[in-house]
Amino acid sequence: MAIKIGVLGGDGIGPEVCQQGLKVLDTLCELRGFDVERIEWPYGADHCMATGGPGKGVVLPDSIWSEIKELDAIFLGAIGDPRFEAGFLEFGIVGSLRFKLDLYVNLRPIKLYSEDLCPLKGKGVKDLDMLVVRENTEDAYAGIMGFLKKGTPDEVAIQEMIYTRKGVERVIRYAYNKCMERKKAFKLSLVDKANAIRAHDIWRRTFAEVGKEFPKVTQDAMYVDACTMWMVKNPESFDTVVTTNLFGDIITDLGAMLQGGLGIAAGGNINPGKVSMFEPIHGSAPKYKGQNKANPLAAINAMGMLLEHVGRPDEAALVEQAVGGLLATKRVASLQAGAMPCDKIGDLVANEVRVLAGDKPRKPKPRK
Ligand code: IPM
Ligand code: MN
């Protein structure tokens, strides 16, 4: 049976990096003899502008939810556009998908493939291989907020960090399971701020309680400020991390820099066994839009994670090996935008996948 995916390229560089992820997917389909059916959606800033603009235009139509019901996964490029108020499209699209589909895990691997990409002195590939499990539906992102006397000198603004036992427990259990599956150091670090945000006590208690089901896993709880310090000082001390939505957002950008930049970092927004969404962590980078300069490796890695989710772990492994190999051998030597054309990097990964799968590499056709 064909795998069914929805593709939402979105804004800025989103569509072009998505194209490269799809190129790698098509190559795998051809090599491994499986089919993918895809719906491509036009949603994002341009579509909203064309249908009435901020406040009036279509962000996501209601019809999308019944389309999604028929899918296995969603592949998303990037959302965000300077013509809109910050967060409007991000919450209207990315946030909506995360909340309505209850994608309660945001899974973000942080792995170094070449020492030269790491900004830390004296750290190499063996020192950075961690998996961050970010809670994805609660915390300050839940949308319980408001303003009082807005725009006056007496203005009050609030946004609540909320945590439910159910929400905390399910993501912590997921993280313990991932830690077991990884078979690395069998260590799970809880990252919170329980000393200042006293509500984080619910994370500490749940972490210890669920941990009893996983006697093999060493429990390690730390505050987020200390976590940022250790990530820079001793990244090798991390295996699997579980954390709140907001802290997960922040530490995974730090993690992305340690692996060489946002050009490579991917994430899966997951509800295990249900339709889930995969995306590069980077934003829409409007200044690079349509210039073929963006690095598509993050989107390609997101495609790898999607394949794993839809039951194609061998193909997911091929994608990772291909990307890792190109970086380790410096055939892709930089993750900076503009260092190498976007489509060229997509071609390199697709060819590498062929080589790894035992097919002959295709020479690019000579130009006439
Ligand atoms: C991310 C992004 C989003 C987030 C923004 C766009 C709302 O930074 O996916 O990490 O904060 O979750
Ligand atoms: Mn972020």
The yes-or-no verdict on residue 252 having pLDDT over 90 is: yes
Is any atom of ligand 1 closer than 6 Å to the C-beta of 300?
Answer: no
Instruction: Write the pLDDT tens digit of every residue in 144-195.
Output: 999 999 999 999 999 999 999 999 999 999 999 999 999 999 999 999 999 9
245: nearest Cα among 144, 177, 118, 120: 144
Q: Which atom of ligand 1 is nearest to the CA of 279?
A: 9
Ion ligand 2: protein residues whose beta carbon lies under 5 Å: 249
Is any atom of ligand 1 closer than 6 Å to the C-beta of 81?
Answer: no
Nearest CA to ligand 1 atom 5: 90
**Domains and their CATH numbers in the chain:** 1-111+260-368 (3.40.718.10), 129-134+161-258 (3.40.50)
Instruction: Write the pLDDT tens digit of every residue in 7-63.
Output: 999 999 999 999 999 999 999 999 999 999 999 999 999 999 999 999 899 999 999
* Residue 144 structure tokens: 């319980």
Provide the pLDDT confidence category of residue 363 given band limits of 50, 70 and 90. low
Residue recorded with tokens 């993050």: 298
Is any atom of ligand 1 closer than 6 Å to the C-beta of 13?
Answer: no
Q: Which residues fall within 8 angstroms of residue 319, CB to CB, at 6 or more apart?
A: 24, 28, 300, 301, 303, 304, 307, 349, 353
Is any atom of ligand 1 closer than 6 Å to the C-beta of 256?
Answer: no
Phi-psi label, residue 4: left if phi above 0, alpha if psi -120 to 50, beta otherwise: beta
Q: Which atom of ligand 1 is nearest to the CA of 245?
A: 12
Q: What was the pLDDT predicted at 1?
A: 82
How many angstroms separate the alpha carbon of residue 245 from the centre of ligand 1? 10
* Catalytic residue positions, numbered: 141, 193, 225, 249, 253
* Closest ligand to Cα 87: 1
* pTM > 0.85: yes
Is any atom of ligand 1 closer than 6 Å to the C-beta of 281?
Answer: yes
